[in-house]
Amino acid sequence: MKRTKIYQITGVIVTQSGLHVGGSEDELEIGGIDLPVIKTPETEIPYIPGSSLKGRMRSELERVHNKYSAQGREPCNCCKPDCPVCRVFGPHKYRPERKQDVTNHPGPTRLLVRDAYAPGPVATELKTENVIDRHTGQAAHPRKYERVPPGVRFPFRLTLQVMDTDANFAYTDRKGKQHRAAEALLAVVCDCLNYVQQTGVGGSLSRGSGEIRFEDMKLDGADWQCN
């Protein structure tokens, strides 16, 4: 297997609602934050880990294509040549059961996702949530969690590797258009970004957090119409 091309995809993640990607609190304080956001240890500036964005991209693609293993409890591990998940993100916990499985293995992940850092200090916000007692209807167990407010911009970068074994890979995108080879890999990434834009990143998505928008998308420095 030989790498034949590398694409650089850049853009900006813009928060549309409060964003919570969890970090850790070194010291517990009375009345402090229960769930802080992740920040750089040196500057205390929030960032979006590449693993969070990539994991969301993968899970959304798996959901759309019904690609799960182990009764839906683990990421896709099918290793089928036409599987967009295994092709772009790599199979999960690959263990070949037959000799021919090694031949069909799609190889390493094609997509590298870098951490996305806010360009400067960010004034975060606190949101308090409660559990409602179903018998009394009263709020119980209040907790405070930290969020990055709407309007914060996180420049991000993705690296997409193309291998010689991708020459016959085909993919039909969410609009029904067919693609092959390197264009098929790009179409998968484009679909994933759009799925994430529809659902969000981080925690508490069903409670209003994590809505984002991708802006200023570029492919190798040129404008990229991924919509």
User: Is pLDDT at 121 greater than 60 in this prediction?
Assistant: yes
Read off the pLDDT band of 62 (50, 70, 90).
very high
User: What values do phi and psi take at 205, rounded to 5?
Assistant: -65, -40
Q: Which two tokens stand for residue 95?
A: 């263990």
Give the tens place of pLDDT for each residue, 27-59: 434 344 568 889 998 888 999 999 999 999 999
C-alpha–C-alpha distance, residues 146 and 94, integer Å: 37
Query: Regarding predicted confidence, which is higher, 204 or 57?
Result: 57
Three-state SS sequence of the chain? CCEEEEEEEEEEEEECCCECCECCCCCCCCCCCCECECECCCCCCEEECHHHHHHHHHHHHHHHHCCEECCCCEECCCCCCCCHHHHHHCCCCCCCCCHHHHHHCCCCCCEEECCEECCCCCCCEEEEEEEECCCCCCEEEEEEEEEECCCCEEEEEEEEEEEHHHCCCEEECCCCCEEEHHHHHHHHHHHHHHHHHHHCCCCCHHHCCCCEEEEEEEECCEECCCC
Mean pLDDT of 113-119: 95
Query: Regarding predicted confidence, which is higher, 101 or 190?
Result: 190
Query: Regarding predicted confidence, which is higher, 125 or 187?
Result: 187
Radius of gyration in angstroms for the set of CA atoms belonging to the chain, rounded to a whole number:
20
Return the domain boundaries, the chain: 3-223
Q: Give the pLDDT confidence score for residue 26 in this predicted structure.
A: 42
